[in-house]
């Protein structure tokens, strides 16, 4: 298991089946660390591991049979390079509510300036100047991606009596909200929240052009994947006072930073440093999943995936190598497209 933190180990140790042994590694999996996998059957990886073609081929040559992703997203796995070599399974839904609730926490923190008030009162500064917020009640929230997390977030926003509109590449009749085109969502929303996966066709789906169409003062929330937003264009939108606030749990260049204690280091990423210096930007380091319920479910489901794989069972949690989850996906028909 790569990129292991104490909180991962706690749950994987607690739920470990008798016939499984794990070697925990703290470094991330990449071209320099994959030689550690020689002799293992399974590699358990996480969101900032780099499973490119070289790594996949190396794992395959070492006899690794399964990549067990401890995440829902698998954009960091070269799935095409895995085809006919190594199976990939994931934990598709460990706790949509964990991510949706963190998104709402970021939004409320920003809207009510809680991050500012927290620091002030600790300094015995009880002034309210500059802490003016706004009500969520009645605001239009644009949700991009209405899967498990998007739906949980929609429910929360409806609880605040917001009007919810949505854009999804594959709209669902089960979702009770108005679907609109992406441009319309940009134009109409007071708050925009990203809940779609990062794929080849939506890289930088929020960029300078999209931001220029947005309402002045729009709040942008991203708890999905960093590269959905062009961070330099976001910075520009903030400087031009189009974007009123940005709350980010993910960042395009997060892989060498997030999950690590970098205090005392010089931050080399000027865009991130500038974003962090803005009073209306809140950044958490890919923390949205980090609840007791989600960590338990990640460990439980990863063990189940490994057991299903070695028992020869077809599983919905296996990543489809050919059609990448379009309508006629074989995995959904409980076939194996490997």
Which residues here bind ligand NAD, judged by CB under 6 A? 72-73, 93, 96, 99, 144-150, 167-170, 195-197, 199, 201-202, 223-225, 249-250, 286, 288-289
Q: Between residues 64 and 272, which has the closer beta carbon with respect to ligand NAD?
A: 272
Supply the minimum distance, in Å, between the C-beta of residue 179 and ligand NAD.
10
Residue 126 DSSP SS3: coil
Per-residue CA distances from 37 to 22, 31, 76, 157 (Å): 11, 11, 18, 44
- DSSP label at residue 254: -
Residue 29 contacts residue 51 (beta carbons within 8 Å): yes
Q: Between residues 146 and 255, which has the closer beta carbon with respect to ligand NAD?
A: 146
Supply the minimum distance, in Å, between the C-beta of residue 227 and ligand NAD.
10
Q: Between residues 43 and 247, which has the closer beta carbon with respect to ligand NAD?
A: 247
Is 253 part of the annotated catalytic residue set?
no
Nearest to 213 by CA among 137, 281, 142: 142
Q: Are strands 87-89 and 66-69 parallel, antiparallel or unpaired?
A: parallel
Active-site choice (87, 151, 195, 225):
225
Q: Between residues 214 and 288, which has the closer beta carbon with respect to ligand NAD?
A: 288
Residue 218 contacts residue 189 (beta carbons within 8 Å): yes
Is 254 part of the annotated catalytic residue set?
yes
Active-site choice (252, 254, 297, 318):
254
Residue 153 CA, chain-centre distance (Å), reads 14
Angular region, 247: left φ>0, alpha ψ -120 to 50, beta rest: beta
Residue 239 CA, chain-centre distance (Å), reads 26
Supply the minimum distance, in Å, between the C-beta of residue 59 and ligand NAD.
23
Supply the minimum distance, in Å, between the C-beta of residue 255 and ligand NAD.
14
Residues designated as active site: 225, 254, 286
């Amino acid at each position: 298991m790569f990129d292991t933190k104490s909180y991962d180990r706690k749950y994987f140790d607690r739920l470990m089946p008798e016939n499984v042994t794990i070697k925990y590694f703290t470094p991330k999996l990449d071209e320099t660390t994959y030689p550690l996998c020689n002799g293992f059957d399974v590699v358990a990886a996480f969101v900032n591991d780099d499973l490119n073609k070289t790594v996949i081929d190396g794992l395959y040559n070492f006899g690794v049979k399964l990549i067990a992703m401890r995440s829902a997203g698998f954009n960091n796995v070269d799935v095409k390079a895995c085809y006919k070599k190594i199976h990939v399974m994931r934990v598709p839904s460990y706790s949509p509510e964990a991510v949706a609730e963190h998104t709402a926490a970021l939004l409320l923190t920003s809207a009510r300036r809680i991050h500012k008030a927290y620091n002030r009162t600790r300094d015995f500064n009880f002034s309210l100047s500059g802490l003016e917020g706004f009500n969520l009640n009645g605001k239009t929230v644009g949700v991009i991606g209405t899967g498990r997390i998007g739906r949980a977030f929609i429910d929360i926003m409806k609880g605040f009596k917001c009007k919810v509109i949505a854009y999804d590449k594959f709209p669902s009749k089960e979702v009770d909200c108005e679907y609109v085109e992406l441009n319309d969502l940009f134009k109409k929303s007071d708050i925009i929240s990203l809940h779609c996966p990062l794929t080849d066709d939506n890289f930088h789906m929020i960029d300078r052009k999209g931001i220029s169409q947005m309402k002045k003062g729009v709040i942008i929330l991203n708890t999905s994947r960093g590269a959905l937003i062009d961070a330099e264009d976001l910075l520009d939108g903030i400087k031009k006072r189009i974007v009123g606030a940005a709350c980010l749990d993910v960042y395009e260049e997060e892989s060498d930073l997030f999950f690590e204690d970098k205090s005392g280091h010089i931050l080399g990423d000027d865009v991130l440093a500038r974003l962090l210096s803005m009073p209306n930007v809140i950044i958490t380091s890919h923390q949205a999943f980090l609840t007791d319920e989600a960590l338990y479910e990640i460990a439980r489901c990863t063990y189940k995936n490994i057991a299903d794989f070695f028992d020869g069972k077809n599983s919905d949690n296996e990543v489809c190598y050919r059609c990448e989850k379009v309508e006629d996906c074989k995995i959904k028909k409980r076939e194996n497209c490997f």
